[in-house]
Amino acid sequence: SQQGEEDPQALSIQEGENATMNCSYKTSINNLQWYRQNSGRGLVHLILIRSNEREKHSGRLRVTLDTSKKSSSLLITASRAADTASYFCATAPDTGGFKTIFGAGTRLFVKA
Amino acid sequence: NAGVTQTPKFQVLKTGQSMTLQCAQDMNHEYMSWYRQDPGMGLRLIHYSVGAGITDQGEVPNGYNVSRSTTEDFPLRLLSAAPSQTSVYFCASSYSALQGGYGYTFGSGTRLTVV
């Protein structure tokens, strides 16, 4: 089963609005990462948040992490048509080993 | 820097054929991995390597072999292709083997169809 599960599966918003995507996971983690994938392309790393961090910012991106609820959220502010993509969370369990697990993703469509 | 280079970009195989998907990185990354992406299922880890000469299995290793003779290259071999292996394959690398603590750099993918 997937370690990380994104919610919603799909999201459609107007340009200029904010987009929020959520990720839940099952086991304790070392870190959580968010990636973007444009149609037909490889994934691009957006931001990494470690288990001892609660919030992180990068430009228009804001990521929060709640380890007690085993959940994370990605907020994209003032969205643009170019933000249209799929967004994936990925978790690195702290149980040892080197297996980062990806969720099924949220498809974001930003209408111009 | 080229980053992570995957070849070929597209491939059609007949059931039972074998082939090798190539992956090369020029960033001196320690960690390399292979994922497959199927519709609605995210990415599933096939095999990974934490350094030259060291490989291990991921979630879905059956039907695939890997080796890592150099830091730069991490080829994925399909031993006897099956229609269930139709997928998009991504190679990814990271500076450190420590749980991708620096994030992964992905290649652009190989779209494989097995008929």
Q: Residue A2: pLDDT band by 50, 70, 90 thresholds?
A: very low
Question: Which of A102, A106, A107 best tests the B interface by mutation, with the highest count of B CBs <10 A?
Answer: A102
Q: Does A102 sit within 8 Å of B43, measured CB to CB?
A: yes
Q: What are the φ and ψ backbone dihedral angles of A81, each rounded to 5 degrees? A: -55, -35
Instruction: State the CB neighbour count (10 A cutoff) for residue B30.
Output: 18
Rounded to a whole number, what is the distance in angstroms from the first to the last CA of chain A?
36
Is B97 a residue whose pLDDT tops 70? no
CA distances from B42 to A87, A105, B38, B58 (A): 10, 6, 7, 14
**In B, which residues are within 8 Å of A42 by CB distance?**
4, 90, 106-109
Is A82 a residue whose pLDDT tops 90? yes
Examine residue B83 and say whether the peptide bond preceding it is cis (omega within 30 degrees of 0). Answer: no
- Average pLDDT, stretch A46-73? 96
